[in-house]
Amino acid sequence: ESISRKGETVDHYHDWSSVEPPDVFDDPPIVFEARGDLACFTRPEFQGERVSYPLMTPSAAVGLTTAIFWKPEVRYVVEAIDVLQRGGWLAMRRNEAGVPITRDAINRGGLAMDDVVQQRMTTMLRDVAYRIHVNIWVHPGAREQSPAKWRDQLRRRIQRGQSFRTPFLGMREFHADVTDRTDESPDHTWTEDLGPMVHSIQYDDRTGKESYSFFRASINRGTMRVPRAGFGLLAAKESA
């Protein structure tokens, strides 16, 4: 789909529901690092309390990369995630709003916190660092098919510390420090079968629902390889 702006036609939103990423990309992945004091990559099977996966999920890596550089004709496909710093666990009880903050609520002056606040226990990670390997996937309906320009812009933003919005580690309040890749080695002591993990999350704008796809995750000497697609298991809660 395209829109007109100042006498020219520009690419706008694209329908990604009927397209699949290529098995092989022409260019090597872009590699960068993200670290932070706190992180929470929430497991969707826990409804009452928040419990994190033991490392960043592919969907969280895509969200972080999108926060750095966003274009409607571009999606990101994660190739691998290296765990540079595994971190530890931290449990904290937090106050959260049980309903989303809508524009109507803002116009009314905010939410009535006494009515909507709920306490939730969050089991999160602390002191983590990851190296993300990500491919740039251009929508087949986009006017410009070469990813070279988008690759250069993403690299420059990483190197300059610029972003489209604040990058975060699973939850928006957990800020991520994003840098270019270093020579730091992954945690070679960590090899484990992690079981099913969220691969991607799809949002239905019409119903406000989320649906999840999963993959069989394993980490080998500190590196988790990510398949192109997951298998669907769960249609879940309304998007908050």
E strand residue ranges, the chain: 2-5, 8-11, 30-39, 50-51, 74-85, 88-97, 117-138, 168-169, 171-175, 177-180, 192-204, 209-219, 223-225, 231-238
Is residue 218 classed as helix, strand or coil in its secondary structure?
Answer: strand
CB neighbours of residue 131 within 10 Å: 22
Half-sphere exposure of 225 (CA within 13 A, CB side): 4
Average pLDDT over residues 158-174: 94
Whole-number mean pLDDT of the chain? 85
Write out pLDDT tens, residues 114-156: 666 667 789 999 999 999 999 999 988 888 888 899 999 999 9
Q: Is 167 exposed, middle or buried (0-12, 13-18, 19+ CB in 10 A)?
A: buried
pLDDT at position 5: 41
pLDDT, residue 40, reads: 96
Q: Of residues 112 and 186, which shows the higher confidence score?
A: 186
More confident residue, 13 or 201: 201
pLDDT score of 9: 42
Interval 86-98 mean pLDDT: 82
